[in-house]
Amino acid sequence: MVRNGLFTKVMGQAWNKISKYRSKEIRILLLGLESVGKTTLLYRLKLGEPIKATPTIGFNVESFQYKDLSLNAWDLGFGGKMRPLCQHYYKGSNAVVIMIDRGDRERLEEVTYDVIKPALKSEDLKDAVFLFLANKSDIEDGMSLQEISDSLALNNLKRRWNIFTISALTGDGITEAFDWLALQLGSSQVKQTAEINKIQTEVTHFLPPQNHPETCERSYSALACFFIRPTQAVGIHKDDDNNDGDDEKIDDV
Ligand SMILES: Nc1nc2c(ncn2[C@@H]2O[C@H](COP(=O)(O)OP(=O)(O)OP(=O)(O)O)[C@@H](O)[C@H]2O)c(=O)[nH]1
Ligand SMILES: [Mg+2]
């Protein structure tokens, strides 16, 4: 009897610990230049519908559920005095969502130096997953994922990362992108769906060069990070052929 009681107590304590861990909020950071759509995305995720966003002074922070994960998302305004202060919000973040405006070619260099590099350099984000979002898929003549990845030299990243095209306004592509992120963050719900229905979780927006030997590896990239434990870059999109000249832009080691 005593042994049974002890067993029940130990199991109860273990279950409490597991439940506590599972219900712990996962902190994600939304980063990107002014007007890329961070606030629009935050409230699309929280409310499931578009809002009329105005430039953020300071930050917005919201907690919401994504599948079986409790997320705590920080949307940092990037204008004015806020830019140099962003790094003070890095600590404790499990994931970094970096948004890029597909229509804004001129500011890609600024994205590299003011958004990506500071995040990569920070010790606070050394274990974070990086999700890049090319926002505003609804606009015409925007940059392709290939163009953005090459310009930002994302293939050099030695982190877990992926890139998707989305529209924070219409909701297009958000589920694919956040399912990938949720999988990296340990969502058993997304994992189950992924295992049952692998095709649906492929990265459908990334268009690799034709006949490339890594095409197969890339097309399963959404699942790769789960099934294959990477030793270095989970950087799914390795493409040395298209990297010339851009390597120096991001020297993530
Ligand atoms: N066409 C289009 N417009 C978008 C999309 N997402 C956001 N916008 C618009 O882009 C503008 C800026 O959006 P915000 O969400 O305020 O951008 P932000 O990144 O939070 O900007 P800051 O707070 O200034 O850092 C707004 O007019 C949005 O309606 C999108 O997917 N497509
Ligand atoms: Mg904002």
For 106-165, write each residue's pLDDT tens digit: 999 999 999 999 999 999 999 999 999 999 999 999 999 999 999 999 999 999 999 999
**Ligand 1 pocket test, candidate residues 107, 141, 169, most atoms within 8 A of CB:** 169
Rounded to two decimals, what is the model's pTM? 0.77
| pLDDT score of 22 more than 60 | no
> How far away, in angstroms, is 100 Cα from ligand 2 center?
13
| pLDDT score of 18 more than 60 | no
Q: Known binder of ligand: residue 35?
A: yes
| pLDDT band, residue 240 (cuts 50/70/90) | very low
Distance CA 167, CA 148 (A): 16
Average pLDDT, the chain: 80
Chain-centroid distance, C-alpha 9: 39
State the angle between helix axes of 188-196 and 174-184 in degrees (0 to 180), rounded to the nearest 10.
110
Q: Name which of 182, 169, 172, 219 is nearest 51 in CA terms.
A: 169
User: Which ligand has an atom closest to residue 53 CA?
Assistant: 1
Which residues are near ligand 1 (CB < 6 Å)? 32, 34-40, 53, 55-56, 77-79, 135-136, 138-139, 167-169
Half-sphere exposure of 121 (CA within 13 A, CB side): 10
Which three-class secondary structure state does DSSP give residue 144? coil
> How far away, in angstroms, is 162 Cα from ligand 1 center?
21
Give every CB contact of residue 51 below 8 A, 6+ residues apart in sequence: 39, 40, 43, 44
User: Which ligand has an atom closest to residue 35 CA?
Assistant: 1
